[in-house]
Amino acid sequence: MSEIKASGYPNEDENVSKETQATNQQSLEEEIHNLRERLHTLQVRLQEEGGRPGKNSHETQTPAKDWDSVGHGLDKYMVERYSRQIILPSFGVKGQSKVSNGSVLVIGAGGLGSPALLYLSAAGVGKIGIVDRDCVELSNMHRQVIHTERSVGIHKTKSAKQAIMQLNSSIQVEEYTEGFTPENALEIVDSYDVVLDASDNAPTRYLISDACCVAKKPLVSGAAIGTDGQLTVYCHGDDGPCYRCLYPTPPPATSCARCSDAGVLGPAPGIIGTMQSMEVLKILSGIGEVFSKKMLVMDALYSRYMVVKLRPRSETCASCGKTPEITRDTLSSFDYCSFTGQASPSDAATPGLRLVDDKHRITVEDLVQRMNPKHLLVDVRPNHHFDICSIPGSINTPMTSFDASLVKNMFEEGSYEEISVICRRGNQSQRALLELHTIGLDNAVDVIGGMQAWSAHIDDDCPIY
């Protein structure tokens, strides 16, 4: 027998083995086919029932199966997929049914929106809208966990949709790449049950709140910067306040820091964004106590969490008061940039400050020509920024403790003939320059574009951060 086997003729055992393999392969193919059929059926049902714009999708249920005694409308695939949350007594099949037939609009696919989108899609929210006009950057990676390295340069809504479909292909996803504007706000918000604010600027926050007030949609709001964060729910219940109720006058533009300026530790927005997704699920399913009329304040660095009670809806609020100024007819014409004193987030490139005359400003190319032993280059970035990267020979005197007199003494004692001031982007250096001019250093100049321009045009090995 060994010679026969060696010659390549199969024995009886090998015939049985091949028959078994063929049977297993056929069973596997049939199972894959059945799963695809179930998935297709589910996608069609979600699009036809749970995903119609402007429809309160909670009201639509599929015909009950023989084993569905309460008429929750979930099929076998959905029950098995979401079983670990369905078996929660407080949630159950009714909660899952509402979530699967519900819809949420997530404005911002960044640090807050990323975890929120992942958990909402994993939980089976029937329809998810994603609003963002930006593309993925390498500096996003440490906190915007829905994106990958391969997503760099791709539109954030596209990248987020790809991640969602890989996680749960039964979800209906709508992309809004043009951003959220007064002109399109109500048309978009009207199509969803809940809105999740994951934006990062005051004009957009006021716009989102106003649109939710007009459309009567609950708004789950979150914010995170550095290692701090906060969470609340606006426009919920009979007397739940809106954003404008709490902040009728916008804060100074100088106090509205963004991650690109102030920095952020990745888990901070991750925690808040995850909690936002929890609030959305509670609102859609109708379980638990929603974070309305109270705000969670988080100090993650020292593990401190505090809940602050908020005042109810203001009767004099311009958005949700008794006689609102902002209505369905007026919202599109409201100037949120002028109101907040901040540049429009829809501007592709916001120009830098212009505090000094152009004759007192030089380019990075001019700076290269100036650099010699008789030239003093003053870097006014914070110490920890200077530690990241710096131009050889520059002196670090942070703007937070800038003393023009000390710089003048340094200039005179060192017998320097020229002085230039540089910062990160060319804004703080102008403020320092004004102080130097005030005390008589009229020949001082600042560098347009700062270290970012240096990295882009002179030393491409120097990081842009």
Containing structural domain, residue 180: 102-340
The reply to whether 420 falls in a domain is yes
Q: What is the pLDDT along the chain (465 residues), one digit of tens a residue?
A: 333 333 333 444 444 455 555 556 666 666 666 666 666 555 555 554 444 333 333 344 455 577 887 788 899 999 999 999 999 999 999 999 999 999 999 999 999 999 999 999 999 999 999 999 999 999 999 999 999 999 999 999 999 999 999 999 999 999 999 999 999 999 999 999 999 999 999 999 999 999 999 999 999 999 999 999 999 999 999 999 999 999 999 988 666 667 777 889 999 999 999 999 999 999 999 999 999 999 999 999 999 999 999 999 999 999 999 999 999 999 999 999 999 988 755 544 445 678 899 999 999 999 999 999 999 999 999 999 999 999 999 999 999 999 999 999 999 999 999 999 999 999 999 999 999 999 999 999 999 999 999 999 999 999 999
Check whether residue 67 and residue 191 sit in a common domain: no
Check whether residue 134 and residue 73 sit in a common domain: no
The count of C-alpha atoms lying within 13 angstroms of the C-alpha of 309, restricted to the half-sphere facing its C-beta, is 2
Check whether residue 237 and residue 313 sit in a common domain: yes
Report the CATH number that the domain containing residue 124 is assigned in CATH: 3.40.50.720
pLDDT of residue 1: 37
pLDDT of residue 58: 39
According to DSSP, the residues that pair with 299 across neighbouring strands are: 228, 304
Check whether residue 147 and residue 282 sit in a common domain: yes
Whole-angstrom distance, CA of residue 60 vs CA of residue 42: 14
pLDDT of residue 174: 98
Report the CATH number that the domain containing residue 441 is assigned in CATH: 3.40.250.10
pLDDT of residue 64: 57
Check residue 450 and give left, alpha or beta (phi > 0: left; psi -120 to 50: alpha).
left
pLDDT of residue 18: 53
Length of the chain: 465
According to DSSP, the residues that pair with 195 across neighbouring strands are: 105, 219
Residue 229 — φ and ψ, nearest 5°?
Answer: -160, 165
C-alpha pair distances (Å), 178 with each of 168, 181, 184, 186, 224: 25, 8, 9, 14, 24
Check whether residue 160 and residue 287 sit in a common domain: yes
* Residues with active-site annotation: 259, 423
Predicted TM-score (pTM) of the model is 0.74
Query: How many structural domains compose the chain?
Result: 3
Buried b (16+ CB within 10 A) or exposed e, 303-315: eeeeeeebeebbe
Check whether residue 171 and residue 243 sit in a common domain: yes
